[in-house]
Amino acid sequence: MTARILGGIGTSHAPSIAHAYDKGLQAEPLWAPLFAGYAPAKAWLAAQRPDLLIVLYNDHMNRFFFDAYPTFALGVGERHALADEGWGRRDFPDLPGDADFAWHLAESLIADEFDPTICQELAVDHGILSVLPLLCDPPWPAAVVPLAVNVIQHPLPTARRLWKLGHALRRAVHSYAKNLRVVVLGTGGLSHQLHGERFGFVNPEWDNRFLDLLEHEPEVLASYSHRQYMEWGGAESVEMIMWLGMRGALGPKVRRVHRHYYAPLITGYGLAVYENEQ
Protein backbone atom coordinates (compact mmCIF):
# COMPACT_ATOMS: atom_id res chain seq x y z
CA MET A 1 0.00 0.00 0.00
CA THR A 2 1.28 3.46 -0.89
CA ALA A 3 1.07 6.65 1.12
CA ARG A 4 -2.23 8.51 1.13
CA ILE A 5 -3.56 11.90 2.17
CA LEU A 6 -6.27 11.67 4.82
CA GLY A 7 -7.25 15.32 4.73
CA GLY A 8 -6.06 18.84 5.32
CA ILE A 9 -6.13 21.62 7.89
CA GLY A 10 -6.01 25.33 7.19
CA THR A 11 -5.17 27.48 10.19
CA SER A 12 -4.05 30.97 11.04
CA HIS A 13 -0.75 31.33 12.81
CA ALA A 14 0.26 34.24 15.04
CA PRO A 15 2.74 34.92 17.84
CA SER A 16 -0.18 36.13 19.96
CA ILE A 17 -1.61 32.59 19.96
CA ALA A 18 1.70 31.26 21.26
CA HIS A 19 1.92 33.92 23.97
CA ALA A 20 -1.66 33.22 25.11
CA TYR A 21 -0.97 29.47 25.23
CA ASP A 22 2.29 29.82 27.14
CA LYS A 23 0.72 32.21 29.67
CA GLY A 24 -2.15 29.81 30.32
CA LEU A 25 -4.85 32.15 29.03
CA GLN A 26 -6.95 29.43 27.40
CA ALA A 27 -9.91 30.07 29.71
CA GLU A 28 -9.71 33.88 29.65
CA PRO A 29 -12.81 35.44 28.03
CA LEU A 30 -10.78 37.03 25.23
CA TRP A 31 -9.03 33.81 24.26
CA ALA A 32 -11.45 31.04 25.23
CA PRO A 33 -13.42 31.12 21.92
CA LEU A 34 -10.21 30.73 19.92
CA PHE A 35 -8.90 27.76 21.88
CA ALA A 36 -12.33 26.11 22.04
CA GLY A 37 -12.50 26.32 18.27
CA TYR A 38 -9.47 24.04 17.96
CA ALA A 39 -10.93 21.22 20.07
CA PRO A 40 -12.86 19.55 17.18
CA ALA A 41 -9.78 19.79 14.94
CA LYS A 42 -7.62 18.23 17.65
CA ALA A 43 -10.12 15.40 18.10
CA TRP A 44 -10.26 14.79 14.36
CA LEU A 45 -6.48 14.69 14.05
CA ALA A 46 -6.19 12.24 16.96
CA ALA A 47 -8.81 9.99 15.38
CA GLN A 48 -6.99 9.99 12.04
CA ARG A 49 -3.69 8.86 13.63
CA PRO A 50 -1.48 10.37 10.91
CA ASP A 51 2.10 9.25 10.55
CA LEU A 52 3.16 12.49 8.91
CA LEU A 53 2.20 16.15 8.74
CA ILE A 54 3.30 18.23 5.76
CA VAL A 55 3.14 21.85 6.93
CA LEU A 56 3.22 24.88 4.63
CA TYR A 57 4.18 27.98 6.59
CA ASN A 58 6.40 31.03 6.32
CA ASP A 59 9.54 31.79 8.26
CA HIS A 60 9.54 35.16 10.04
CA MET A 61 13.25 35.95 9.68
CA ASN A 62 14.23 33.26 12.18
CA ARG A 63 15.88 30.96 9.63
CA PHE A 64 15.98 33.05 6.45
CA PHE A 65 16.74 36.74 6.02
CA PHE A 66 16.23 39.36 3.35
CA ASP A 67 19.73 38.82 1.95
CA ALA A 68 18.75 35.26 0.89
CA TYR A 69 15.07 34.34 1.21
CA PRO A 70 14.12 31.26 -0.84
CA THR A 71 10.76 31.01 -2.60
CA PHE A 72 10.30 27.49 -1.23
CA ALA A 73 12.45 25.70 1.36
CA LEU A 74 12.02 22.08 2.41
CA GLY A 75 13.25 20.60 5.68
CA VAL A 76 14.62 17.09 5.13
CA GLY A 77 16.19 16.43 8.53
CA GLU A 78 15.32 13.76 11.07
CA ARG A 79 14.38 16.52 13.51
CA HIS A 80 13.56 20.21 13.38
CA ALA A 81 14.72 22.53 16.15
CA LEU A 82 12.54 25.29 17.58
CA ALA A 83 13.67 28.81 16.78
CA ASP A 84 14.19 31.32 19.58
CA GLU A 85 12.15 34.30 18.37
CA GLY A 86 13.57 36.71 20.92
CA TRP A 87 11.81 35.70 24.12
CA GLY A 88 13.51 32.34 24.68
CA ARG A 89 12.95 28.90 23.25
CA ARG A 90 9.47 27.58 24.02
CA ASP A 91 9.21 24.60 26.36
CA PHE A 92 8.47 21.95 23.73
CA PRO A 93 10.53 19.12 22.27
CA ASP A 94 11.99 19.43 18.79
CA LEU A 95 9.73 18.29 15.97
CA PRO A 96 10.48 14.79 14.64
CA GLY A 97 11.13 14.63 10.92
CA ASP A 98 10.94 11.90 8.30
CA ALA A 99 14.07 12.14 6.19
CA ASP A 100 13.13 9.26 3.89
CA PHE A 101 9.84 10.82 2.86
CA ALA A 102 11.28 14.34 2.81
CA TRP A 103 13.98 13.33 0.32
CA HIS A 104 11.36 11.57 -1.78
CA LEU A 105 9.29 14.77 -1.69
CA ALA A 106 12.32 16.83 -2.71
CA GLU A 107 13.02 14.60 -5.70
CA SER A 108 9.36 14.49 -6.69
CA LEU A 109 8.92 18.27 -6.49
CA ILE A 110 12.03 18.90 -8.57
CA ALA A 111 10.87 16.35 -11.16
CA ASP A 112 7.56 18.25 -11.14
CA GLU A 113 9.45 21.49 -11.94
CA PHE A 114 9.36 22.94 -8.45
CA ASP A 115 12.80 23.76 -7.06
CA PRO A 116 12.79 24.05 -3.26
CA THR A 117 15.89 24.96 -1.33
CA ILE A 118 16.84 21.74 0.49
CA CYS A 119 17.55 22.34 4.18
CA GLN A 120 19.13 19.57 6.22
CA GLU A 121 18.64 21.86 9.23
CA LEU A 122 15.49 23.97 9.39
CA ALA A 123 14.57 25.58 12.71
CA VAL A 124 10.84 26.37 12.78
CA ASP A 125 9.09 29.34 14.35
CA HIS A 126 5.54 30.40 15.22
CA GLY A 127 4.50 29.75 11.63
CA ILE A 128 4.14 26.16 12.87
CA LEU A 129 4.60 26.29 16.63
CA SER A 130 1.86 28.77 17.47
CA VAL A 131 -0.84 26.32 16.40
CA LEU A 132 0.69 22.83 16.60
CA PRO A 133 0.13 22.55 20.40
CA LEU A 134 -3.53 23.41 19.79
CA LEU A 135 -3.84 20.48 17.38
CA CYS A 136 -1.88 17.81 19.25
CA ASP A 137 -0.09 17.33 22.53
CA PRO A 138 3.65 16.78 22.87
CA PRO A 139 5.44 14.47 22.62
CA TRP A 140 4.43 15.07 19.04
CA PRO A 141 2.41 12.12 17.69
CA ALA A 142 3.47 12.45 14.04
CA ALA A 143 6.55 13.34 12.05
CA VAL A 144 6.61 16.80 10.48
CA VAL A 145 7.96 17.81 7.09
CA PRO A 146 8.11 21.64 7.00
CA LEU A 147 7.78 23.46 3.69
CA ALA A 148 8.53 27.17 4.06
CA VAL A 149 7.00 29.57 1.53
CA ASN A 150 8.13 33.11 0.81
CA VAL A 151 5.19 35.41 1.46
CA ILE A 152 7.40 38.23 2.80
CA GLN A 153 10.14 39.24 0.36
CA HIS A 154 8.88 40.30 -3.08
CA PRO A 155 8.61 38.86 -5.67
CA LEU A 156 6.30 36.27 -4.11
CA PRO A 157 4.97 33.06 -5.65
CA THR A 158 1.47 33.54 -7.01
CA ALA A 159 -1.68 32.09 -5.52
CA ARG A 160 -1.93 29.80 -8.55
CA ARG A 161 1.64 28.63 -7.94
CA LEU A 162 0.60 27.51 -4.45
CA TRP A 163 -2.47 25.78 -5.91
CA LYS A 164 -0.20 23.89 -8.31
CA LEU A 165 2.23 23.13 -5.49
CA GLY A 166 -0.62 21.40 -3.70
CA HIS A 167 -1.17 19.19 -6.75
CA ALA A 168 2.54 18.37 -6.76
CA LEU A 169 2.38 17.44 -3.07
CA ARG A 170 -0.48 15.06 -3.80
CA ARG A 171 1.47 13.39 -6.60
CA ALA A 172 4.51 13.06 -4.35
CA VAL A 173 2.54 11.42 -1.56
CA HIS A 174 0.74 9.01 -3.89
CA SER A 175 4.04 7.95 -5.49
CA TYR A 176 5.65 7.07 -2.14
CA ALA A 177 5.87 3.30 -1.81
CA LYS A 178 5.57 3.11 1.98
CA ASN A 179 2.27 3.01 3.85
CA LEU A 180 2.00 6.49 5.35
CA ARG A 181 -1.07 8.31 6.61
CA VAL A 182 -0.56 11.98 5.73
CA VAL A 183 -2.31 15.21 6.71
CA VAL A 184 -1.41 18.47 4.95
CA LEU A 185 -1.53 21.79 6.82
CA GLY A 186 -1.60 25.25 5.30
CA THR A 187 -1.01 28.10 7.74
CA GLY A 188 -1.07 31.90 7.74
CA GLY A 189 -3.42 34.86 7.80
CA LEU A 190 -6.27 35.51 7.76
CA SER A 191 -6.84 39.28 7.38
CA HIS A 192 -4.35 41.49 9.18
CA GLN A 193 -2.01 44.40 8.60
CA LEU A 194 0.78 45.19 11.02
CA HIS A 195 2.16 48.46 9.68
CA GLY A 196 1.26 51.68 7.88
CA GLU A 197 -1.96 53.65 7.76
CA ARG A 198 -4.09 50.50 7.79
CA PHE A 199 -2.44 49.04 10.89
CA GLY A 200 -4.95 46.79 12.65
CA PHE A 201 -7.10 46.28 9.56
CA VAL A 202 -9.32 43.18 9.78
CA ASN A 203 -11.99 42.15 7.28
CA PRO A 204 -14.24 39.34 8.60
CA GLU A 205 -16.45 39.50 5.50
CA TRP A 206 -13.49 38.72 3.23
CA ASP A 207 -12.13 36.10 5.62
CA ASN A 208 -15.38 34.16 5.55
CA ARG A 209 -15.70 34.61 1.79
CA PHE A 210 -12.21 33.13 1.50
CA LEU A 211 -13.23 30.13 3.63
CA ASP A 212 -16.33 29.60 1.46
CA LEU A 213 -14.32 29.68 -1.76
CA LEU A 214 -11.54 27.51 -0.34
CA GLU A 215 -14.03 24.75 0.31
CA HIS A 216 -16.13 24.95 -2.86
CA GLU A 217 -14.30 27.01 -5.52
CA PRO A 218 -10.58 27.11 -4.68
CA GLU A 219 -9.56 27.87 -8.26
CA VAL A 220 -11.25 31.26 -7.90
CA LEU A 221 -8.85 32.02 -5.06
CA ALA A 222 -5.97 30.83 -7.24
CA SER A 223 -6.89 33.48 -9.83
CA TYR A 224 -6.57 36.44 -7.44
CA SER A 225 -3.49 38.64 -7.45
CA HIS A 226 -1.31 39.57 -4.49
CA ARG A 227 -2.73 43.10 -4.70
CA GLN A 228 -6.27 41.78 -4.35
CA TYR A 229 -5.38 39.68 -1.30
CA MET A 230 -3.67 42.69 0.28
CA GLU A 231 -6.45 45.13 -0.52
CA TRP A 232 -9.17 42.84 0.85
CA GLY A 233 -7.27 41.45 3.82
CA GLY A 234 -4.35 43.73 4.64
CA ALA A 235 -0.73 43.54 3.55
CA GLU A 236 0.25 40.52 5.65
CA SER A 237 -2.86 38.58 4.67
CA VAL A 238 -1.12 37.47 1.49
CA GLU A 239 -0.07 34.55 3.72
CA MET A 240 -3.52 33.13 2.94
CA ILE A 241 -2.21 31.76 -0.36
CA MET A 242 -0.49 29.00 1.64
CA TRP A 243 -3.92 27.55 2.41
CA LEU A 244 -4.21 26.89 -1.34
CA GLY A 245 -1.20 24.57 -1.12
CA MET A 246 -3.12 22.50 1.42
CA ARG A 247 -6.36 22.60 -0.56
CA GLY A 248 -4.61 21.72 -3.81
CA ALA A 249 -3.19 18.60 -2.16
CA LEU A 250 -6.72 17.30 -1.60
CA GLY A 251 -9.19 16.08 -4.18
CA PRO A 252 -11.53 18.27 -6.23
CA LYS A 253 -14.30 17.78 -3.69
CA VAL A 254 -13.88 17.74 0.07
CA ARG A 255 -16.07 17.13 3.08
CA ARG A 256 -15.84 19.86 5.66
CA VAL A 257 -15.24 18.40 9.12
CA HIS A 258 -14.95 21.67 11.03
CA ARG A 259 -14.77 25.42 10.46
CA HIS A 260 -14.18 28.19 12.97
CA TYR A 261 -13.60 31.93 12.77
CA TYR A 262 -12.79 34.46 15.48
CA ALA A 263 -11.55 38.05 15.18
CA PRO A 264 -11.17 39.67 18.60
CA LEU A 265 -7.92 41.58 18.02
CA ILE A 266 -5.92 42.71 14.98
CA THR A 267 -5.94 39.38 13.16
CA GLY A 268 -8.74 37.28 11.73
CA TYR A 269 -8.16 33.80 13.14
CA GLY A 270 -9.52 31.04 10.88
CA LEU A 271 -9.55 27.24 11.02
CA ALA A 272 -10.87 24.66 8.56
CA VAL A 273 -10.59 20.87 8.50
CA TYR A 274 -11.35 18.86 5.36
CA GLU A 275 -11.44 15.22 4.37
CA ASN A 276 -11.19 14.04 0.80
CA GLU A 277 -14.62 13.12 -0.51
CA GLN A 278 -14.48 9.53 -1.67
Active site residues: 126, 192
Per residue, the 3-state secondary structure of the chain, as one string, reads CCCEEEEEEEECCCHHHHHHHHCCCCCCCCCHHHHHHHHHHHHHHHHHCCCEEEEEECCCCCCCECCECCCEEEECCCEECECCCCCCCCCCCCEECCHHHHHHHHHHHHHCCCCCEEECCCCECHHHHCCHHHHCCCCCCCEEEEEEECCCCCCCCCHHHHHHHHHHHHHHHHCCCCCCEEEEEEECCCCCCCCCCCCCCCCHHHHHHHHHHHHHCHHHHHCCCHHHHHHHHCHHHHHHHHHHHHHHHCCCCEEEEEEEEECCCCCCEEEEEEEECC
